[in-house]
């Protein structure tokens, strides 16, 4: 495992160039360039605000910020998974013809989504200031939460991209799964909406903890209790480890099965 990580580190320039290739290709030739990355969440923000604040009348303070704090990390997760699921199979011609650590493929997808996620803070921070939300020391914990979520995203990306090689339907299953997952996560409603008796079950969803973590830091300017920090770390680490091991186990037959 250590050896594998070392090797991936040795190929860091490949990761870097794949990430920058991803981003370059994405924005090349479009007039607004990377502003599309910002525009998209803004539009979603407008749509959901109108729908849930004014039509359905969800009573939540500062709905736009409440929504953004959860929606942006969710988008990071959502995009990471739906883009990385085909990472191995779609690059079949590479996998079959060139050696390089295959982890690099899902890894670079997740990292390029991380970059875009970080860019969206260019919207979030001004929005926080605009709505006069106090920002404070709690922000120092933000990099940690982002790191743990990246571990979580990465683990799942490893799992899905490796499974997809052997089982093509996983892509479609994932789409449905992500839809359901969106509604099972407190993005457009607060956790308090969940009836008490389902709460334990509800909190088995790891995304709940991440979303709540982000909200606590950004919206409420509150730290995260130590136990919850440890829990976030564990979620990130366990998912990463599991994904990594699974990927490595399946890795040996990628080139034959694609």
85-124: which residues touch another protein (CB under 8 A)?
91, 93-100
Tokens of 107: 């890894």
25 is a contact residue toward another protein (CB under 8 A): yes
129-188: which residues touch another protein (CB under 8 A)?
166-169
30 is a contact residue toward another protein (CB under 8 A): no
Name the one range near another protein by CB under 8 A: 17-25, 130-138, 140-148, 175-183. Answer: 17-25
- Under a CB-based contact definition with an 8 Å cutoff, are residues 133 and 219 in contact? yes
In the complex, what is the shortest distance from the CB of residue 199 to another protein, in angstroms, rounded to a whole number? 34
Residue 167 vs 177, nearer CB to another protein: 167
In the complex, what is the shortest distance from the CB of residue 37 to another protein, in angstroms, rounded to a whole number? 17
User: For residues 231 and 172, what is the distance between their CA atoms, to the nearest angstrom?
Assistant: 30
Count other C-beta atoms under 10 Å from residue 241's C-beta: 14
Name the one range near another protein by CB under 8 A: 19-27, 44-52, 59-67, 176-184. Answer: 19-27
DSSP assignment string, 147-200: HHHHHHHHHHHHHHHHHHHH-TTHHHHHHHHHHHHHHTSSSSS-GGGS-GGGHH
In the complex, what is the shortest distance from the CB of residue 198 to another protein, in angstroms, rounded to a whole number? 30
56 is a contact residue toward another protein (CB under 8 A): no
Q: Which of 113, 143, 127, 140 is nearest to 67 (CA)?
A: 127
User: For residues 42 and 61, what is the distance between their CA atoms, to the nearest angstrom?
Assistant: 19
Count other C-beta atoms under 10 Å from residue 178's C-beta: 15
Among 5, 16, 47, 199, binds another protein (CB under 8 A): 16
Direct distance between the N- and C-terminal alpha carbons of the chain, in angstroms, rounded to an integer: 24
Name the one range near another protein by CB under 8 A: 14-22, 44-52, 124-132, 231-239. Answer: 14-22
Among 6, 21, 203, 220, binds another protein (CB under 8 A): 21
Buried b (16+ CB within 10 A) or exposed e, 145-158: bbebbbbbbbbbbb
Q: Which residues bind another protein (CB under 8 A)?
A: 10-11, 13-14, 16-18, 21, 24-25, 28-29, 91, 93-100, 166-169, 252-253, 255-256
């Amino acid at each position: 495992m250590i050896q594998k990580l070392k090797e991936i580190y040795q190929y860091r320039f490949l990761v870097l160039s794949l990430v920058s290739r991803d981003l370059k290709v994405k924005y090349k030739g479009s007039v607004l360039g990377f502003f599309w990355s910002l525009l998209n969440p803004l539009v979603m923000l407008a749509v959901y605000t109108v729908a849930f604040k004014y039509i359905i009348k969800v009573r939540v303070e500062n709905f736009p910020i409440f929504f953004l704090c959860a929606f942006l990390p969710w988008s990071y997760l959502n995009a990471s998974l739906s883009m990385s699921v085909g990472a191995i199979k779609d690059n079949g011609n590479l996998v079959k013809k060139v050696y390089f650590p295959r982890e690099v493929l899902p890894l670079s997808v997740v990292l390029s989504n991380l970059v875009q996620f970080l860019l969206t803070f260019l919207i979030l921070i001004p929005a926080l200031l605009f709505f006069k939300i106090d920002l404070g020391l709690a922000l120092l914990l933000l990099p940690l939460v982002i790191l743990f979520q990246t571990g979580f995203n990465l683990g799942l990306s490893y799992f899905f991209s490796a499974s997809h090689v052997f089982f093509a339907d996983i892509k479609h299953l994932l789409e449905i799964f992500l839809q359901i997952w969106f509604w099972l996560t407190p993005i457009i409603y607060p956790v308090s909406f969940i009836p008490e008796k389902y709460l334990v079950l509800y909190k088995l969803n790891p995304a709940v903890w991440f979303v709540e973590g982000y909200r606590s830091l950004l919206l409420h300017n509150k730290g995260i209790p130590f136990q919850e920090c440890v829990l976030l770390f564990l979620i990130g680490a366990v998912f990463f480890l599991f994904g990594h091991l699974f990927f490595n186990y399946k890795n040996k037959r990628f080139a034959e099965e694609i």
